[in-house]
Amino acid sequence: MSALMVSVSGIRGIVGDGLDPEVLVNYTSAYADFVKSGKVVVGRDARISGEMVLSIVTGTLLAKGLDVIEIGICPTPTVQYTVKTMNANGGIAISASHNPNQWNALKLLNDTGQFMSPEQNLDMLEILKEKNKIFKKWNELGKLTHTDEGLKRHVNDVLKLKHIDIEKIRKRKFRVLVDCVNGAGVYVIPELLREFGCEVIEMNCEHSGIFPRLPEPLPENLTETMKAVVENKAELGVVVDPDVDRLVLITNNGEPFGEENTITQAVKFILSKEKGNVVVNLSTTRAVDDVASEAGSKVFRSPVGLTGWRGKCCKEDERS
């Protein structure tokens, strides 16, 4: 049996070689005992194994007496946002993020829609050690609700962000090439860009759930995409990973704008509109500190999480 990657963000492994039904039931059951009661939001990315994993996770949560709000194929941030906006007691995003087709994962969220704190994760891992799992009787099972409101609400609220001048953007009529690697982004990113008045050129936007290239949006994996931006005379390229929690922008010259530049520009824009401090993770560029300093703001840095091999914490993982 292959090793399972375990961190505060959840569990990750290869389907059929580590991430098996028994493992999914065990971790979901422990998570349900951690949540205790109430409702849990569940969503997934588009990969082929997602439907199988979703069925097991949902069934286990219902068997533990928790109500499940299933929001379909959507970005991981949408699951997080829906936990918050629906006042849920927790959430599970089924996605192995930028890992290849054979991988999948459970990203476990607390009642704020964020990943568990190290303390919360340790509490859940203690529950996992318990051998006897208690499931509810037939008349105490949880209730399942299917809804597409999670993604709709997320998109609508993005369009209403107070510092976004949507009409000004629409008048610009940007020509944008978007590469969603056939993942969850297909279900939202092209349409979102059209809402911003963009002319959208779709690449790797099939509803197949099979990644046509290595899905991590690194420059070496985006050679064809960068070439396509130039060939289609796009003013901007937009690339997301399978669960849309990573973004890479490509200039009209077919060159990566760089994640460091992207986050720095975002921070600079927000601080130009309102005062406040900045929170980033430990691996974020120090250019953010320079921008914050110019605005008279402070920067606070946090680790993304602690990962382990076979469930034993051992090192920091900055790319969960």
- Options 3.40.50.1970, 3.40.120.10, 3.40.50.460, 3.30.70.20; CATH for 5-150 is 3.40.120.10
Residue pLDDT, tens place only, 182-233: 999 999 999 999 999 999 999 999 999 999 999 999 999 999 999 999 999 9
CA angle in degrees (0–180, nearest 5) for 189-76-124: 180
Residue pLDDT, tens place only, 155-167: 999 999 999 999 9
> How is the chain split into domains, by residue range?
5-150, 161-257, 272-302
Could you confirm whether 9 is annotated as catalytic? no
Domains 5-150 and 161-257 share a fold: yes
d(CA 164, CA 39): 33
Q: Which two tokens stand for residue 139?
A: 């008349």
Q: How high is the pLDDT of residue 165?
A: 94
Distance set, CA 198 to CA 129, 258, 269 (Å) = 52, 22, 21
Residue 77 region, left (φ>0) first, then alpha (ψ -120 to 50), else beta?
Answer: alpha
Q: How high is the pLDDT of residue 307?
A: 39
Q: How high is the pLDDT of residue 303?
A: 80
Partners of 10 in the β-ladder: 7, 107
Q: Please list the ranges in the chain whose pLDDT falls under 70.
A: 1-2, 304-320
Partners of 279 in the β-ladder: 300
Q: Supply the DSSP symbol for 287.
A: H
Q: How high is the pLDDT of residue 132?
A: 87
In sequence order, the 6+-apart residues with CB closer than 8 A to the CB of 232 are: 175, 177, 201
Catalytic site residue from 55, 97, 117, 272: 97
Query: Read out DSSP for 130-148?
Result: -S------GGG---EEE-S
Q: State the fold for domain 161-257.
A: Alpha-D-Glucose-1,6-Bisphosphate; Chain A, domain 3 (3.40.120)
d(CA 150, CA 81): 8
Q: How high is the pLDDT of residue 2?
A: 63
| 72 SS3 class | strand
| 128 SS3 class | helix
Q: How high is the pLDDT of residue 131?
A: 84
